[in-house]
């Protein structure tokens, strides 16, 4: 079986609620997404990854799944989802969907059955019900246990509306095998696995050792790999957050997941030594396993790069978001452009989170009463959460909703976004949108396959060549640096005068 399409793919992440609204209710949906497929095709991406699109009470933006075999009514219907898959495939675009194996929604049929059945029932054995809770804390803040009226407690590593599955129960294993088949049979090309490392629980261990990266979790993914291998070219990608590369690599063994997100690169500061170390470590981890690396700058959980790279501390840490810390957005914008060319020049697949190609900053002034992220509520309003990177996209026009739809968006858009709409940027050859579009198309020609060879242009410059003859140079020094010998400039993130590359600028050179 060929396993090629994801090795060099450019994958575009769609947060459906915020992408495009087709029916005017202020919420993004499948009709809106389908209407924008030509935009994505023209952008040059090869696959779309969608965040959960299933029926959900939306306690956590859809990651509280009530039914895996249907579509959230505010997004559309199952028939529309099947039509979207068909239309995407007709444009040469693959489709990846989210699966959330750690937990359910408290409104799911299984959990409602468990509540009604009572202590000791088979229905409760699908989840973690205990007579006495331990001291584990929720990842979203507060205790990880909630008591039900009959006195028992159930585990939820995230929000109380997200009860954790009991992965020692064979019914849970069979349910997810059936779910994967349901969507593979409908033409879905890949599965992104949410919170992939925390499924298995050990209540005799500590916190977080009691639920993070236990050995039995790998048995789950070996069984998923055997299932996916029954289909043609189906991808499994894990959301795995580990600084320890040895533990990370276990998920990429030949009989487990095909790829996993590279959060070390995403979290690296705008620093040449840190970025080079991350790149070298990533390649060294993946090459022996025969797995493609992934390069990610942002997603629906992370402060947008334009804001992050404009701060004094440009690194990213999920546990220390530094919300509200001042940012020089002009500097951040320049660095985000350079970072995009760096990420796209590296071997493997690259992910683009919606709005990244528009250079959108984090929206940090959302009124408190409009915030929806459970992080905000569970932290006692101490953590503003992730709403700021989930604000609906601006497509056109001079006033809200900027072509997102005809109704008021579910989160408010800044008035300043009239300058960064798709419409405004299409007419500007120097825009972030046109930088991404040009880079993604050049990437298909120059940057699929092969490794990198580093060039020494000084300690504050990242420079490497690809086997195609393309050289990428990124200047992180305070002063301009001289470019190496080359035939022509293919693309630059900023203006270049002569052979001098300005600070915080990246360039792709043709060298052969």
Nearby residues of 74 by Cβ (< 8 Å), 6 or more positions away = 25, 27, 29
- Token representation of residue 23: 């029916």
Q: How far apart are CA 42 and CA 334, in angstroms?
A: 24
Do strands 259-260 and 294-296 pair parallel, antiparallel, or not at all (unpaired)? Answer: unpaired
Instruction: For residue 147, list its beta bridge partners.
Output: 153
Q: How far apart are CA 202 and CA 188, in angstroms?
A: 33
- Residues 58-87 as b/e (b if ≥16 CB within 10 A, e otherwise) read bbbbbbbbbbbeebbebbbeeebbeebbee
- End-to-end, the C-alpha distance of the chain in Å comes to 34
428, 323 contact by CB (below 8 A): no
- Residues 8-38 as b/e (b if ≥16 CB within 10 A, e otherwise) read bbbbbbbbbbbbbbbbeebbbbbbbbbebbe
- Pick the catalytic residue from 194, 256, 372, 373: 194
Q: How far apart are CA 327 and CA 345, in angstroms?
A: 27
Has 230 been annotated as catalytic? yes
The H or E element that residue 219 is part of is helix 217-228
Q: Which of 157, 247, 161 is nearest to 210 (CA)?
A: 157
- Token representation of residue 191: 């599965």
Q: How far apart are CA 74 and CA 357, in angstroms?
A: 26
Angle of helix 170-184 versus helix 217-228 axis, rounded to 10:
30
- Pick the catalytic residue from 229, 230, 398, 445: 230
DSSP 234-247: -EEEE----S-HHH
Cα dihedral: 67, 69, 72, 78 (round 10): -160
DSSP 52-83: --S----TTTT-S-S-TTS--TTT--HHHHHH
Q: How far apart are CA 350 and CA 341, in angstroms?
A: 11
Nearby residues of 27 by Cβ (< 8 Å), 6 or more positions away = 17, 21, 74, 75, 410
Q: How far apart are CA 471 and CA 453, in angstroms?
A: 9
Has 194 been annotated as catalytic? yes
Instruction: For residue 491, list its beta bridge partners.
Output: 508
Distances (CA, A) of 498 to 70, 284, 439, 486: 57, 36, 21, 12
Active site (catalytic) residues: 194, 230
């Amino acid at each position: 079986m060929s396993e090629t399409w994801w090795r060099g793919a450019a994958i575009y992440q769609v947060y459906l609620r915020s992408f495009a609204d087709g029916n005017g209710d202020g919420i993004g949906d499948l009709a809106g997404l389908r209407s924008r497929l030509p935009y994505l095709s023209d952008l040059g991406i090869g696959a779309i990854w969608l965040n959960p699109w299933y029926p959900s009470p939306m306690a956590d933006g859809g990651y509280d799944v009530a039914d895996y075999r249907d579509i959230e009514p505010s997004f559309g219907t199952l028939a529309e989802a099947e039509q979207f898959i068909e239309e995407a495939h007709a444009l040469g675009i693959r489709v990846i969907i989210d699966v959330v194996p750690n937990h359910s929604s408290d409104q799911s049929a299984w959990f409602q059955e468990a509540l009604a059945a009572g202590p000791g029932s088979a229905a409760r054995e699908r989840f973690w019900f205990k007579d006495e809770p331990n001291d584990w804390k929720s990842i979203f803040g507060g205790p990880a246990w909630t008591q039900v009226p009959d006195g028992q407690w159930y585990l939820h590593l995230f929000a109380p509306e997200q009860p954790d599955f009991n992965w020692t129960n064979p019914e849970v294993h069979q349910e997810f095998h059936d779910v994967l088949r349901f969507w593979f049979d409908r033409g879905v090309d890949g599965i992104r696995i949410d919170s992939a490392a925390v499924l298995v629980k050990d209540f005799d261990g500590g916190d977080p050792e009691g639920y993070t990266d236990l050995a039995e979790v790998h048995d789950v993914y070996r069984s998923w790999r055997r299932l996916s291998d029954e289909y043609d070219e189906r991808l499994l990608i894990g959301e795995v957050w580990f600084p320890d590369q040895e533990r990370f690599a276990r998920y990429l063994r030949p009989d487990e997941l095909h790829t996993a997100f590279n959060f070390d690169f995403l979290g690296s500061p705008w620093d040449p030594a840190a970025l080079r170390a991350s790149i070298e470590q990533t390649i060294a981890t993946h090459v022996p396993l025969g797995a493609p690396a992934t390069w990610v700058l942002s997603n629906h959980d992370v402060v947008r790069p334009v804001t992050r790279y404009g701060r004094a501390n440009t690194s990213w840490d999920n546990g220390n978001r530094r919300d509200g810390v001042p940012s020089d957005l002009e500097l951040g914008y320049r660095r985000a452009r350079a970072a995009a060319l760096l990420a796209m020049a590296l071997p493997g697949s690259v992910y683009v989170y919606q709005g990244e190609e528009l250079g959108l900053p984090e929206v940090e002034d959302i009124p408190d009463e409009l915030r929806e992220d459970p992080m905000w509520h569970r932290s006692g309003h101490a953590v503003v959460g992730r709403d700021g990177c989930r604000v609906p996209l601006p497509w056109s026009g001079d006033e809200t909703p900027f072509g997102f739809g005809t109704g008021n968006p579910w989160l408010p858009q800044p008035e300043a976004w009239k300058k960064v709409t798709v419409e405004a940027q299409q007419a500007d050859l120097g825009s972030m949108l046109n930088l991404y579009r040009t880079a993604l198309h050049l990437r298909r020609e120059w940057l699929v396959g092969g490794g990198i060879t580093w060039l020494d242009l000084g300690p504050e410059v990242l420079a490497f060549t690809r086997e195609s003859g393309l050289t990428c140079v990124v200047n992180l020094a305070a002063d301009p640096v001289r470019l190496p010998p080359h035939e022509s400039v293919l693309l630059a993130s900023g203006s270049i005068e002569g052979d001098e590359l300005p600070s915080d600028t990246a360039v792709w050179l043709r060298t052969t």
